[in-house]
Structure 1
C-alpha cells in the first residue's frame, strides 16, 4: 500500500484457487549462491516455475537479497520479510536497511522481489500505467471514468498479457506463496519465519492457506484482509476509519487555537467547501478546483498534516483553493503493482455499481468515508483477466502462534481487517495500537519491543495488551 516506510507502496468474481500439491515447492532445488551486491547486501537467485499449476513448464528466476546477521555465529536463523506493495523489495531494502538494524542482531533479514518485479523476471511494461485526469479520482463523472477505464484496460493488455510473457496470469499471491516456500527450501529452513507489512500480509494469508505447518514465527503488521468476498463489507471498515479520522481532525482543531479553523464548525465548513466545489469549481490562481480534486487530496489519517489541511480548507472556504490544486508529494506505485493487486482483489469496475456504493457509504460516512469507494477502481478499472486468486476465507490447521498488530487510525488497512484475519487464523494474538500504517517500520517503540520478544523468544504479548501513542 502507498503510505509505508521510504515511500514503499504502498485493495467479485469466483475463480478457482490454485490446486498444487503442498510438496511441489521442493522441486525448485536447494541452495542460494550469495554474492556481495553493495550497500551491505548479498544477492542471489532461486529458480521457480512461471506457473505453479504447471511445475514442469517455463521457469523464471527470483531475485533474493539478505542483510546478514551482525554475528553469524550466534544468529537465531533467517527472517523473510516483505515490506508491502505489491512492489520490488531489494531496492527498497537498500534504502530502508536502517529499520532492520535491531533484527540483524538475531537474524539474516531476507527479501525477494515478487515475481515480475525488478530482479525477479522483471516485466518491462511498454508505457506507464495511466493516471486519472489531473489526478482526480474521487467520485469522477462517468465520461471521465470511462476514458480512464479504457486506458487502463489497454495498459492491462499490453503490460499484463503481452509484456508479461510466461508470467501472464500468474502474478497473484497464490503463486507468490509457492515462491516463498521455494525460497524457504533454498535457504535450508525447515520453517518459514516471516514478517509481512501491509501487502506482505496478503502473501502471508496465502502462505497460511497453503503451508500452515511450515510456518515458524509470523508477524503481520497493518493487515489487508484477503478473506472477505463482499466488496461492500470490505469497504465499510475503510470508510468508517476515514470518517473517524475526520472527526478526530475536527476535535483537534476545536482544542488547538493554532488551527486555521479554530472556533468554527470544522465538519460543516468542510461540507460547505465540497458542496460549493460540486456546484462550481473554486478558483485556484489561474485554475479552478472541483470537488473531486479536493476529496482526492484529503486524507485526515495523518496528524502531522492536520495543520496544513485546516489551512487549505479555510482558504478554500474563503474562495481560494490553491492548496488543493498542488500536486501531492511522493511517487507513484510501480506500474505492475495494479495488475498483481487486482489479481488478488478483482474489484468491479462498472460505473453504476461504484456510484451506488458511493451513495450507500455517503449515508453512513457523509463527510469523507464515501471516498473509500474509488481507490480500488483506480487500480482495477477495465483490467483484463483479474481474479486469479480472489479473496476467500482462511481455513488453516497446525498453525503456530502468530502476532498481528494494527493501527487504530489506519484507513488503508483498517483494524477491522486485522481482527477478522486474527479470528480466522485461530492461533493468533492481536495487538491494537494507537497509530497508523506500518507500525514497526515507522519506529513505534512499544510495537518493536513486542515484535522482538516474539520473534526472538516466541513470547506473545499477554492477552489484552495494547500500545498507546508512540
Structure 2
C-alpha cells in the first residue's frame, strides 16, 4: 500500500539487529495444560531494537508429535488474525492432527494477546454496521472514535506501546526457534501469519528451513492501488460467479432474470432513496452502502439467501440487508494490522474508489474500505510497512492461495512467489485458509513439502475440494 504512504501513519523504519553468535537459551518449562496440550512461557524484549530494556513474556502451546523418537522436529504455526492463537490449537486439534505424525506442533500467542504479556484496552474499539462509509462526515465520526480507542489502548500497552508489528514478532519467532533448539525454522503461516513470515524471511533468511504460506497477504507491494486491484478483481469475479450460478440454478430466487441488472437497479434505487426494511422496524431503511457492505458474495454457502434478499429488495423490501453478519475482530488486532499496513485517509481512498469503479463497478470497488474500518483515525505508531523484500539465502518456500479468495487474493500469492528466490506457487480452487479448511490436494502437497522438501511439480494445481 504505498503503505509507507506519504503522509500516512508515521512510519519509522526499523533496522535488523546485527547478527551475533547465538547463545544457547535456557530450556522451556513445559507443563500439561489440558486437552493434550503442553504450555510454557518465555521472556523476550519488549522492543527488539533495544533488547536490554524491559522484558515481556510470550506464551506457547505444544501439541506433541505422536512418536517422539521418530519426529522430524518442530513446526511453528500462526493461523492469522492477528489475534490469540492457543485457543485455536486447543479447539481445533483435528486440523493439526496429521502434522503430529512428524512434528511437535507449536503455536504462540502474539505479544499483547492471551497468555503472552496481554494488553487490555480500556475502551472497546468502535464498530460500524457497514464496511463502506457513505460520506466523509460518517468516516470522520468513526475515525474520532477509533482515535480515542487507539490512544487509550496505547496508554494501557506500557512497554509494548509502539512495539506491535510484524518486525517485532519476527524477532519473537526467532527467539522461539532458538529456545526450541531448532537450527532452522519450520513454519506454517496462514493469512496474517504470512505477513509475519515475510518479515522473518527478510530478517533471518538463512535461519529458514521450510515455510508453507497459505492465503498470503502480500507485504512487498508498495502501490496501494495495485494491492487493492487484486482484491477488487476477485470480488467482482465472485459476483459474476454468483450471477452465473443464479442463471443455472432453478432454486435461485432470481433465476431467469438478469441478476446484474437487478443489482444495478437496487443499488441505484437505494442510493436515491433508502429502501424500507419493515422486517427490522417501521422506520428502518437501508441505503446503497449498507447493501454493498452486507452482500457477502464470496461465500458460496450464502448465495441462496443473498439471491432471496436481493429479490426482496428489488420488490421494495430491504429487510434482509438490515441484518449485520460476521464477528468483529479483537480490538487489538487493528493496531497490529495497521502497523503492518498503514492506510491513508478519506480523500485518497475516495479517489481510489473512483478509479476501481472503472473496472469493478458492481461490487469490487468495495475493497477500498475494509482496511479503513480498522485504521481510520488510529494514532501514529512505529510501523513495518510493505517494502520490496530482500531475502538472500532463503530456501524454497511453498505458497498457495485460493482462486476465489478476495481477502487474500491469488495475485498476492503469485506476487510473493515471484520475488522470493526458488519459491513455488500452487494454484488452488477454493477460498481462504486452504490447509486449515481441509483442502485434500493442498494438504497432500504441504505434507510432502514439509517432510521431504519436495515441491509440487511445475504447473501443478489443485481443483475444488471434494
TM > 0.5 between the two? Answer: yes
Cα displacement string for residues 83-120 of structure 1 (whole angstroms, at most 9, x for unaligned residues): 00111101121111110010011110001111111111
In the alignment, which residue of structure 2 is the partner of 1:56? 52
- 1:297 equivalent to 2:294? Answer yes
In the alignment, which residue of structure 2 is the partner of 1:278? 271
- Residues 165-314 of structure 1 correspond to what in structure 2 (within 5 A)? 165-285=158-278, 286=281, 287-314=284-311
- Determine if contact 2:74/2:103 at 8 Å carries over to the other structure: yes
Structure 1 gaps, min length 5: 1-10
- 1:425 equivalent to 2:420? Answer yes
- 1:13 equivalent to 2:8? Answer no
Helix, strand or coil: the match of 2:200?
helix
- 1:116 equivalent to 2:112? Answer yes
- 1:82 equivalent to 2:66? Answer no
**Residue number among 144, 149, 164 corresponding to 1:155 in the alignment:** 149
In the alignment, which residue of structure 2 is the partner of 1:389? 384
In the alignment, which residue of structure 2 is the partner of 1:355? 350
In the alignment, which residue of structure 2 is the partner of 1:318? 315
CA offset at residue 342 of structure 1?
0.5
CA offset at residue 312 of structure 1?
0.8
Cα displacement string for residues 243-301 of structure 1 (whole angstroms, at most 9, x for unaligned residues): 01000111111111111111111111111111111111111112211111111111211
CA offset at residue 198 of structure 1?
0.4
Aligned equivalents of 1:238, 1:22: Cα separation in 2: 37
**Residue number among 13, 27, 33 corresponding to 2:29 in the alignment:** 33
- Determine if contact 1:261/1:310 at 8 Å carries over to the other structure: yes
In the alignment, which residue of structure 2 is the partner of 1:4? none
Q: Tell me the C-alpha RMSD between the 2 structures.
A: 1.4
Comparing 295-304 and 240-249, the one that deviates more: 295-304
Helix, strand or coil: the match of 1:23?
coil
Cα displacement string for residues 331-356 of structure 1 (whole angstroms, at most 9, x for unaligned residues): 2211000001101100012x221111
Helix, strand or coil: the match of 1:365?
coil
Helix, strand or coil: the match of 1:144?
helix
**Residue number among 334, 337, 353 corresponding to 1:338 in the alignment:** 334
* Distance 1:27-1:100 versus aligned 2 partners, 3 A rule: same
CA offset at residue 22 of structure 1?
4.7
CA offset at residue 23 of structure 1?
3.2
- Determine if contact 1:343/1:386 at 8 Å carries over to the other structure: yes
Comparing 387-396 and 75-84, the one that deviates more: 387-396
Comparing 306-315 and 381-390, the one that deviates more: 381-390
- 1:145 equivalent to 2:139? Answer yes
- Determine if contact 2:214/2:433 at 8 Å carries over to the other structure: yes
Structure 2 gaps, min length 5: none
Helix, strand or coil: the match of 1:108?
strand
CA offset at residue 39 of structure 1?
1.3
- Residues 81-100 of structure 1 correspond to what in structure 2 (within 5 A)? 81-100=77-96
Cα displacement string for residues 295-340 of structure 1 (whole angstroms, at most 9, x for unaligned residues): 1111211211111111111111011111111121x42211000001
Aligned equivalents of 1:67, 1:104: Cα separation in 2: 7
CA offset at residue 413 of structure 1?
0.4
* Distance 1:68-1:357 versus aligned 2 partners, 3 A rule: same
Aligned equivalents of 1:199, 1:266: Cα separation in 2: 34
Helix, strand or coil: the match of 1:102?
helix
- Residues 357-372 of structure 1 correspond to what in structure 2 (within 5 A)? 357-372=352-367
CA offset at residue 24 of structure 1?
5.9
CA offset at residue 205 of structure 1?
0.1
Aligned equivalents of 2:131, 2:306: Cα separation in 1: 19
CA offset at residue 29 of structure 1?
2.9
- Determine if contact 1:12/1:346 at 8 Å carries over to the other structure: yes
CA offset at residue 25 of structure 1?
9.6
- Determine if contact 1:242/1:299 at 8 Å carries over to the other structure: no
- Determine if contact 1:25/1:179 at 8 Å carries over to the other structure: no
- Determine if contact 1:342/1:387 at 8 Å carries over to the other structure: no
